[in-house]
Structure 1
Amino acid sequence: MNKLLIALSLAATVALVGCNKDKAPETGATTGEHLENAATQAGEDVKNATADAANATATAVDNAADSAVQAADNAAAHAENAAAHATDAAKNATAATAAAVEQGAADVKEKAQQ
C-alpha cells in the first residue's frame, strides 16, 4: 500500500512539473511518458504487493493448520492420560472395596466364633 501511495505521489509530482511549459523534462521524456512509466511502476508495485499478501496469507493459513494439528494431538494425549488415570482409580477403588468386604467378613466370622 505504501508503494502505491509513493507511486501515485510520484505521478502527481511528475504531472505538476510537467505542467511547467518553460522547460523540457531533464530526461527528455514527455509528461505523458513520465505518467505512463509511473502508471507502469504503480501496476508492478500493486502486483508485487498482491503477491506478498497472498504469500503472507498462505503462510498464516499453514501456521494455523499446524497449530490446530498440535492442539488436537495435545488434546488426544491428555484424553489418553486421563483415561489411564481413570482406569487406575477404578482398579484402586475395586481393590479397596474388596479389602473392606474381606475385612468385614473376617470381623463377622471372628464374632461368630466367640
Structure 2
Amino acid sequence: MRKIVLASAIAVSALGLAACSESTEDAAGDTVDSAAADTEANLDAVGEELDETAADVDAAADEAAAEAEEATTEAEAEIENESETEAAND
C-alpha cells in the first residue's frame, strides 16, 4: 500500500511538472533575457561613469601639476631674488 501511495505521489508530481514546464521554461527564458539586458545597460552606464571620472581625475591632475609648477617658480624667484619669468626659464 505504501508503495502505491508513493508511486502515485511521484506520478502526480511528474505530471504537474510536465504540464507547467513549457510555460515555466518560457518565463525563465524571458527572465534570463531581461536580466542580460539589464546587466548590459548597467555595464554601459558604469563604463560611461568611469570615463567621466577618468576625465575629471585627469583634469584635476593637470591642474594640480600646473599649480605645483607655479608655486615652484614663485619659490625659486623669491629664493634667488629674480623675477618669476627668469625663474621659469631656469
Same fold (TM over 0.5): yes
Residue 28 of structure 2 is matched in structure 1 by: 53
Between the aligned partners of 1:68 and 1:79, the Cα distance in structure 2 is 16
The runs of at least 4 consecutive aligned structure 1 residues that moved more than 6 Å come to none
TM-score normalised to the size of structure 1?
A: 0.55
Q: Secondary structure at the match of 2:35?
A: helix
Structure 2: state its 5+ residue gaps. 1-7, 83-90
Query: Which structure 1 segments of 5+ residues have no match?
Result: 1-7, 13-38, 108-114
Structure 2 residue 39 is the aligned partner of structure 1 residue 64: yes
Shift of 1:44: 5.0
RMSD: 2.2
Identity of aligned residues (%): 17
TM-score (norm 2): 0.68
Equivalent residue of 1:106, what SS?
coil
In the alignment, the residues of structure 2 paired with residue 44 and residue 83 of structure 1 have an alpha-carbon distance, to the nearest angstrom, of: 60
| Superposed counterparts of 1:1-114, under 5 Å | 12=12, 43-106=18-81
Q: How many residues align?
A: 72
